[in-house]
Amino acid sequence: MKRLLSLLLAAVFLAALPVVTALADPVADPPTLVSVEYQDMGPDSKFFLTVFIPQSAYDFRGTYYGSGSVDVEVYIDGSGNSDWSLLSVFELGDKSGASNTTTFLFPAQGKNPASRFMLRLTYYYINSSGETASAFSNWSAVMRDDSAAPSTQTPPPATGGTTYTNSALGFTLTIPSSWAGKYRVSNLADARTGVRFSNIRNEDAGYGGWLFDVAISNGVSQLCIDWDMWEIGRGNGKVAYAYMPGDVQYNYNNSSLSTEYRMMANDFESIWASIRFTTAPASPPPSSGIIARPSSSSVVVNGRAVAFDAYTINESNYFKLRDLAFTLSGTQSQFDVIWDGARNAISLISGRPYTVMSGEMTARGTVNRTATPNSSAIYIDGRETQLTAYTIEGLNYFMLRDLGRVFNFFVGWDGARNMIEIDTSRGYS
């Protein structure tokens, strides 16, 4: 009797569980682009895209316990030459109200007012074989705002200002004289390689102040995958992209701060048009000073080959400090690198994941360089420490064995294979 009761309870429990059934292939009806409207509001200019979503997309989205989902993909052609690129992707949400018509908004700064648009839907589901699958709808008809005057020419480069030069990334920009004392430049703090221009007063007041970024890709052209990114120039095997913030970066309750930011925003396109790419000068072997020779040794970290930008100085190996911190992040020997400008000091914090800046793990040096002894104080966990370090081309290189001793990781040498071994699971020896 007890066994029968248990079987009955189990049957009731299983019957109550949701049954996730494979979805049939979707009816991939296309969206309809109803209208495109460009609104010219200076740096706050916008595109408004009114779109009709077929009911079948909403019906498909909500079935089978979330195993069906739909994305709306928006593409833009700014040149009018069918040079289409992905502008943005929206996940279709729950239907609200009786209408299937919705309006998408996109900032239009830096884009041709007469840009063309088209859309499609992407369906994600589990097919009849129980596998994850996807399907695309047909494209919507191409549409643009015919009342918006197209951009007829590239804005003239900024003139009468000063030249901003970034030797490390190989480009220059002309900054208007009206910007003097109002902006600062900093390295990007994410995985991109480039710099950020900010309005000093709004940034210091806690309102962001981000004006734009210039990011550099070495020889790899990237699609415009978001509304705030577009190509502004090419040269010397590099591609430069501009990025802008997607929210308000100034104190709109303060007329002085908001006016200053907006006036600077009016100069963006002329600044980008002034970009020029510089050719790095040839680097002959140094004739005097301490010679740093590119390391010819391979490096293995915890059993994995890693290509470091490293030099040999006086028969010892010197690694770029941030490269090593980047590679060891997540291991028991991890450490963070902080620049203390007030004390002109490098601060190393043991046991903390590395804070990624930009430029980590760049290409290895191929020519001899001049090394100068590092003049900055070095603190480890708040205590000033003497470590052997050199500055090469403005970057800090530390003796590998010094860092192994301080952060307790193994440094070994395999002469037969010309290989340096780093192992964070073993202590320094």
Q: Are residues 212 and 111 part of one domain? A: no
Domain stops at, among 254, 277, 300: 277
Host domain of residue 321? 290-423
E strands, 61-115, where? 69-77, 85-91, 101-107
The domain that holds 76 is classified in CATH as 2.60.40
Closest CA to 320 of 354, 281, 278, 285: 354
Q: Is there a single domain that holds both residue 185 and residue 310? A: no
Cα Rg of the chain, angstroms? 28
Regarding whether 224 and 127 lie in a shared domain, the answer is no
Check pLDDT > 80 for residue 189: no
Whether 41 is in a domain gets the answer: yes
Last residue of a domain, one of 222, 247, 277: 277
Q: Is residue 4 part of a domain?
A: no
Query: At residue 357, does pLDDT exceed 50?
Result: yes
Strands of 85-91's sheet, edge to edge? Answer: 85-91, 69-77, 116-126, 132-136
- In a domain, residue 129? The reply is yes
Domain presence at residue 145: no
Portion of the chain with pLDDT greater than 70, in percent: 80
In 127-170, the DSSP E strands lie at: 132-136, 162-166
* Whether residue 230 sits in one domain with residue 320: no
Candidate from 92-101, 203-212, 319-328 with smallest mean pLDDT: 92-101
pLDDT of 220: 43
> Contacts for 302-310 with beta carbons within 8 Å, 24 or more apart?
302/331, 302/422, 302/423, 302/424, 302/425, 307/361, 307/364, 308/361, 308/364, 309/361, 309/362, 309/363, 309/364, 309/365, 310/364, 310/397, 310/400
CB 202 within 8 A of CB 256: no
Q: Are residues 298 and 378 in the same domain?
A: yes
396 sits in which H/E element: strand 395-399
Q: How many domains does the chain have?
A: 3
**Which of 277, 303, 336 corresponds to the end of one domain?**
277
Backbone angles phi, psi at 322, to 5 degrees: -70, -30
Residue type, 318: Y
Indicate whether 314 and 256 sit together in one domain.
no
Give domain status of residue 268, yes or no. Answer: yes
| Biggest distance spanned by C-alpha atoms of the chain | 97
pLDDT value at position 285? 46
pLDDT class for 81, splitting at 50, 70, 90?
A: confident
* pLDDT greater than 50 at residue 39: yes
- Identify which has the larger pLDDT, 116 or 10: 116
Q: What pLDDT score was predicted for residue 333?
A: 92
Shared domain check, 332 and 273? no
In this prediction, residue 152 carries a pLDDT of 55
Global model pTM greater than 0.85: no
Q: Look at residue 141 and tell me if it is in a domain.
A: no
Same structural domain, 269 and 330:
no
Instruction: Give domain status of residue 62, yes or no.
Output: yes
SS3 192: coil
177 by DSSP, 3-state: which?
helix
Q: Is residue 143 part of a domain?
A: no
pLDDT-based confidence at 63, cuts 50/70/90?
A: low
Average pLDDT, the chain: 79
- Same domain assignment for residues 261 and 365: no
The CA-atom distances, in angstroms, between 423 and each of 266, 333, 427 are 53, 9, 8
Answer yes or no: do 341 and 405 share one domain.
yes
- 361 lies in the same domain as 405: yes
